[in-house]
């Protein structure tokens, strides 16, 4: 008999193993996905969406799972989350100061990752290596540690003048990127930005901006038996049923023999999984 689980989709849960262990979150249930590789699965969207924050039923999802009122009021949905260099906590205008204190006013890591090529990014120190896994990176190296989200965003803006801050998701899903010498890439970037880093140390304080030494790059393997040659992307809003043989999982994507789907994009959607 087919097994069925249904619930509200959330970002897949990951565990750093070789390869990464994935679980699909459906409400209170977690379905291990690695054992389902090579098997036929069906994802059926019921047509209902619920806010991942307040649980309100909504006709449209904003910012990967929020209803419109939450999207408008929550600090985690503010534009400064996408553009951390615009963090305005220190100006006293944060939508939720208590949330900002917990999530923005804490140590952040500025890193280099290799997913579809070299990119720079930032994440809270507590989110390493989860953030790298969610991006589908096969290599990553923590480069600097700072004391706040604003500081990390300022460094990211400086670094992205020389290194992309984007992942080409289509290339990422076609295979592993060519391996890079992450130490050499880090040293080149720090050398090119040496004077600007010194200026930021003067602005934020010498102990607020630290170059990380003695840390090795992290290599990440994903449970993928076969990468697609061409990418067809599934969208629950256009087709409520996704089915096919599960060939792999990378980033927050399920890779089927019939196409791919970014589950994080559909957070809050009521979905049934059959296998």
What's the whole-model pTM score?
A: 0.95
Please identify every stretch of the chain with a pLDDT value under 50, giving residue numbers as ranges: none
**DSSP state letter for 214:** S
Q: Does residue 264 share a domain with residue 234?
A: yes
State whether 78 and 159 are in the same domain: no
Residues 42, 88 within the same domain: no
Q: What is the C-alpha radius of gyration for the chain, rounded to an integer number of angstroms?
A: 20
Is 35 in the same domain as 126? no
Q: Are residues 198 and 236 in the same domain?
A: no
Structure tokens at 102: 């917990």
For residue 174, with 0-12 CB atoms within 10 Å meaning exposed, 13-18 middle and 19 or more buried, which class applies? middle
Quote the CA–CA distance of 239 and 44 in Å, as a whole number.
Answer: 9
**What per-residue confidence (pLDDT) applies to 157?**
94
248 and 146 in a common domain = no
Segments forming the whole domain that contains residue 85: 74-103
My answer on whether 136 and 179 are in the same domain is: yes
Per the listing, tokens 């023999």 go with 257
Both tokens assigned to 167: 């992942």
Task: Tell me the pLDDT tens digit for each residue of 182-212.
Answer: 999 999 999 999 999 999 999 998 889 999 9
Q: 117 in helix, strand or coil?
A: coil
- pLDDT tens-place string over residues 2-28: 899 999 999 999 999 999 999 999 999
One domain, residues 165 and 147: yes
Q: Give the number of domains in the chain.
A: 3
pLDDT of residue 206: 82
pLDDT number for residue 244: 96
């Amino acid at each position: 008999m087919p097994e069925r689980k249904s619930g509200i989709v959330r970002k897949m849960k990951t565990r750093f193993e070789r390869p990464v262990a994935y679980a699909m979150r459906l409400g209170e249930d977690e379905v291990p996905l690695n054992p389902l590789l090579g098997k036929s699965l069906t994802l059926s969207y019921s047509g209902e969406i619920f806010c991942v924050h307040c649980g309100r039923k909504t006709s449209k999802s904003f910012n990967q799972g929020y209803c419109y009122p939450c999207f408008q009021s929550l600090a985690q949905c503010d534009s400064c989350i996408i553009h951390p260099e615009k963090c305005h906590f220190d100006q006293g205008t944060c939508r939720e100061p208590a949330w900002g204190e917990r999530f923005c006013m804490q140590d952040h890591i500025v890193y280099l990752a290799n997913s579809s090529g070299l990119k720079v990014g930032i994440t809270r120190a507590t989110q390493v290596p989860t953030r790298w896994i969610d991006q589908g990176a096969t290599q990553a190296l923590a480069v600097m540690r700072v004391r706040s989200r604003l500081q990390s965003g300022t460094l990211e803006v400086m670094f992205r003048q020389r290194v992309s801050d984007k992942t080409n998701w289509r290339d990422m899903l076609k295979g592993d990127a060519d391996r890079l010498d992450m130490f050499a890439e880090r040293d080149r970037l720090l050398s090119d930005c040496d004077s600007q880093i010194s200026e930021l140390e003067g602005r934020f304080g010498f102990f607020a901006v630290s170059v990380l030494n003695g840390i090795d790059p992290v290599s990440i393997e994903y449970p993928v038996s076969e990468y697609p040659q061409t990418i067809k992307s599934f969208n629950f809003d256009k087709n409520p049923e996704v089915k096919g043989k599960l060939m792999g999982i990378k980033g927050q994507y399920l890779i089927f023999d019939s196409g791919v789907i970014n589950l994080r994009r559909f957070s809050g959607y009521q979905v049934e999984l059959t296998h």
